């Protein structure tokens, strides 16, 4: 493939990725509105759905929040019956956060048809196309996470001007080394 066509395709991937991100955010917004919770609480429920029972500290790490903020978040979710705190049987000082059966039932009712739709859509692709799509998705995920980490390293003070913010971002991102990212193929775990 000629260089110009390859660059155009990469730019098209970025555009598609942004569209997918907006559509995913719209889906997330609809789910949390339906559930009667806020977006951050919805992200917490999603993390618990993906990883299962977690300590508050582990949940905080997955969400990129402080443990204090997560304690308040857990309090809110516990009040509306979405999570429960369970004492660890092997260490009573340790508290585990678990989705309630009711929460899991609601999320299953929403996401089971969604997952089935993904399977149906995916069945129209060849194995090679599926692997390529998965590779692209992993690359986008890894790149977004790396850029987020890079920006957090230079987070300007709240009082920074927009010009100072732009300069700080440009300085940090200008030195971003994409070669440091390990390319995960579609079938890598």
Q: Which residues contact 89 (CB under 8 A, 6 or more apart)?
A: none
Task: Say if residue 106 is in the same domain as residue 147.
Answer: no
- Given 116, 135, 161, the domain boundary residue is 116
State whether 90 and 145 are in the same domain. Answer: no
pLDDT exceeds 60 at position 189:
no
Where among 61, 91, 116 does a domain terminate?
116
| pTM for this predicted structure | 0.75
* pLDDT, the chain, mean: 88
- The reply to whether 42 and 90 lie within a common domain is yes
Please compute the mean of the pLDDT values over residues 55-70 and round it to a whole number: 95
- Tally the residues of the chain: 189
- Indicate whether 108 and 129 sit together in one domain: no
pLDDT in the model for residue 185? 56
pLDDT of residue 110: 92
Q: What is 46-74 written as a DSSP string?
A: HHHHHH-SEEHHHHHHHHT--HHHHHHHH
User: Do 65 and 110 belong to one domain?
Assistant: yes
Q: Are strands 54-55 and 83-87 parallel, antiparallel or unpaired?
A: unpaired
pLDDT digits (tens, 9 = 90+) for 132-182: 888 888 888 888 888 888 777 777 778 889 998 888 888 777 777 777 676
* Angstrom distance (rounded) from CA 185 to CA 189: 8
Query: In this structure, are 99 and 39 located in the same domain?
Result: yes
Helices 67-79 and 39-51, packing angle to 10 deg: 90
Among residues 57, 82, 116, which one ends one of the domains? 116
Are 88 and 108 contained in the same domain? yes
Would you tell me how many other CB atoms lie within 10 Å of the CB of residue 179?
A: 7
CATH of the domain at 58: 1.10.10.10
- For residue 46, name the pLDDT band (cuts at 50, 70, 90): very high
Domain around 92: 1-116
Burial profile 50-77: b = 16 or more Cβ within 10 angstroms, e = fewer: eeeebebeebbebbebeeeebeebbeeb
The H or E element that residue 164 is part of is helix 162-174
Q: 109 and 146: one domain? A: no
Number of domains in the chain: 2
Can you read off the two tokens belonging to residue 121?
């859509």
Please tell me whether residues 59 and 108 are part of one structural domain.
yes
Tell me, what's the pLDDT at 33? 94
């Amino acid at each position: 493939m000629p260089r110009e066509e390859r660059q155009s395709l990469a730019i098209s991937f970025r555009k598609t990725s942004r569209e997918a991100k907006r559509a995913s955010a719209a889906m997330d917004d609809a789910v949390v509105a339906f559930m009667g919770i806020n977006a951050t609480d919805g992200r917490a429920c999603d993390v618990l759905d993906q990883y299962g029972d977690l300590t508050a500290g582990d949940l905080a790490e997955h969400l990129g929040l402080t443990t204090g903020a997560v304690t308040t978040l857990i309090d809110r979710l516990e009040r509306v019956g979405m999570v429960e705190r369970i004492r660890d049987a092997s260490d009573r000082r340790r508290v585990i956060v678990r989705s309630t059966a009711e929460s899991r039932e609601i999320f299953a009712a929403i996401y089971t048809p969604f997952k089935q739709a993904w399977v149906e859509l995916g069945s129209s692709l060849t194995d090679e196309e599926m692997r390529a799509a998965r590779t692209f998705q992993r690359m986008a995920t890894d790149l977004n996470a790396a850029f987020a980490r890079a920006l957090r390293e230079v987070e300007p003070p709240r009082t920074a001007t927009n010009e100072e913010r732009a300069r700080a971002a440009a300085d940090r991102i200008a030195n971003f080394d994409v070669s440091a990212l390990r390319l995960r193929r579609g079938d890598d775990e």
